[in-house]
Structure 1
């Protein structure tokens, strides 16, 4: 693409009379597709008119500032045809987050055309309480696609951390590529060395056995469902689904805002869990911690994981006291300011420090790092 063609994409409608026509025959389609969305940037700004003086913003293209649902459908189809997938996801995210193009999540036909992504799921969960019932089928499709993708990427890593490290002293009859013992396999098959062909014939490959611990640890996962925690809620749901399938752990899943809801029965079904949570509202973290103290049966073999931004709506002293009581009861605790793929949190650092001072360390972890931490804690 020529530099002038790139500038045409940047300038949109303002390049029409100032730059030569695009060399690519599809150039006008690229320009129109981008201008349909990004032309909104000039709406109401009172920018420069075409004559170079101060004046009202240029007139919008027909339908560009207040599109009907069918025009959004056509626009989405055009974007998906013209641009690579990564660009499409960026454009869709801007349409939702920057320009409030809610037609993308309020019309079933439009929603059906959007590529499922974690960013789209965050938007849908944030708006779930306001969505028309007609789109809930498509919402569930997006939830399922994102959850399955996350679980596929996380499950191997999490299970490997939580079901034991490879034992280099014992072999297993189960052939698992990740547990392959190359040195042991060579030693066990040296008698099959083919000197003429210069190769080793492997008749019996060896695989390490994993150490497993079946200590009855209780894991109480407390998840803040305030609006700012949507990414962590998604990863917590997937993490809970994986933990619930491991026999060495007994999981209790609790979500909270100003109320506490025990969703342990849904822990094995992340899709239904995410369709159930209600993001937004106030936050009473102390109440959730107090609930955890009530359900813990064996404090010395219990872990409480608090996923929150630590923006406490109630008296901070009550939350600090509740955490202190858990620690004094010998419950292992950790606070997570973020549990997602980026671990870049925004949280109340003063509150987090107060909790750390009474024995609850606070960190931002990915699900894989949380699994490693749990493995270390429960290995003792």
Structure 2
């Protein structure tokens, strides 16, 4: 196929069926199957439009036809495209209702967004579907943990070591390796030795140094991806002996899921996506759990649409910061960037010296490390409130 024909073929796939009249291209084989998969979801009359041409194919509400379609798109398109088409199918044809059937769950491409959808359906899910849903969620959680755990542990452990370092150690507590590296500029070649101007060591207490981390997570429907990532990071942090990790989720009520934190899947099925939001009540509970303010990091993950008492919420944050607690607000913990959020509340928190920004999962270990060391956070350049 020459370059012109290939361009026409691509335009035909983009524009849809009626485009054959203008492009002069008809499709066959794999191209025809791809076009049919697009037509079923984006054809004429589907909610939201999105493609030109009179495409009359559709998925309807038939579980078998949807299952076949899910298989087709996994055959013809890469995983990233499949995930987008699945999300569109949930919005356009009510695929979420069909996800209550085990055979449908086995056909979909599992990702963070699908997990969020399943969690929102948790209360309506029949018992016959629940174990299949847990298997799907487990697969996604295991993949995320594999991707994120090693770097998180290494980054946070390094921060804990640095925060425990002492500058005037007793002789037996000197860390000679770090001391020598820090003083190489003072090497005296005539004597063949290093003169240590600065001693670095770890006191006996450093072996039991512990930071307290409280993850306070908004479980309103818009925060689904953040809830998934927070549960994974909570499990990773909880696996570190030098950190005491508490996981609190909230809507208008507050639920402490710390006793389930070792298993993110249990945590996720313990959440209830949707409903209102009472950040003040959640922070009141978190504040009551702080016993060592200067060794505590509170991470609020919320879009800040507060349904509680705004003034009390801000007073609690100010009080925690005044006591020495590190307080960070993440508008989202996901790959999607900053969501819709309450700008007035974000500005008020930033004015209290509590950074407010959206955070990707890959940046989260660095944020935690900086908070533990009480240094400036690695806030993205495009962060809305710093």
TM-score by length of 1: 0.78
- Range with bigger deviation, 241-250 or 105-114: 105-114
2:11 aligned with 1:7: yes
SS at 2:298's partner residue?
Answer: strand
Task: Say if 1:8 and 1:101 are closer, same or farther in 2 by CA, change over 3 A.
Answer: farther
Matches within 5 A, 1:166-205: 170=177
Give the deviation of 1:155 after TM superposition: 0.9
Task: Say if 1:312 and 1:245 are closer, same or farther in 2 by CA, change over 3 A.
Answer: same
Measured against aligned partners, the alpha-carbon deviations of 1:246-304 in whole angstroms (never above 9, x if no partner) come to: 11111111111110111100111001111111011110000111111111111222121
1 CA distance for matches of 2:24 and 2:364? 55
Give the deviation of 1:368 after TM superposition: 4.3
- Range with bigger deviation, 365-374 or 321-330: 365-374
Give the deviation of 1:97 after TM superposition: 3.2
Matches within 5 A, 1:39-54: 39-42=43-46
2:364 aligned with 1:370: yes
Segments of 5+ residues of structure 2 without an aligned counterpart are: 163-174, 179-201, 375-386
Matches within 5 A, 1:92-111: 92-102=86-96, 104-111=98-105
Task: Say if 1:213 and 1:340 are closer, same or farther in 2 by CA, change over 3 A.
Answer: farther
Measured against aligned partners, the alpha-carbon deviations of 1:15-38 in whole angstroms (never above 9, x if no partner) come to: 466654536433332222221111
Aligned 8 A contact 2:20 2:26 in 1: no
Structure 2 match to 1:268: 262
SS at 2:43's partner residue?
Answer: helix
SS at 2:345's partner residue?
Answer: helix
Matches within 5 A, 1:179-328: 214-328=208-322
- Range with bigger deviation, 271-280 or 353-362: 353-362
2 CA distance for matches of 1:169 and 1:104? 63
Give the deviation of 1:104 after TM superposition: 4.8
SS at 2:363's partner residue?
Answer: helix
Aligned 8 A contact 1:40 1:65 in 2: no
Segments of 5+ residues of structure 1 without an aligned counterpart are: 51-57, 172-209
2:124 aligned with 1:117: no
Structure 1 match to 2:62: 68
Give the deviation of 1:10 after TM superposition: 2.9
Measured against aligned partners, the alpha-carbon deviations of 1:234-257 in whole angstroms (never above 9, x if no partner) come to: 110011000000111111111111
Matched residue count = 331
1 CA distance for matches of 2:131 and 2:123? 14
Give the deviation of 1:128 after TM superposition: 2.6
SS at 2:95's partner residue?
Answer: coil
Structure 1 match to 2:42: 38
TM-score by length of 2: 0.76
1 CA distance for matches of 2:320 and 2:48? 54
Structure 2 match to 1:26: 30
Task: Say if 1:287 and 1:32 are closer, same or farther in 2 by CA, change over 3 A.
Answer: same
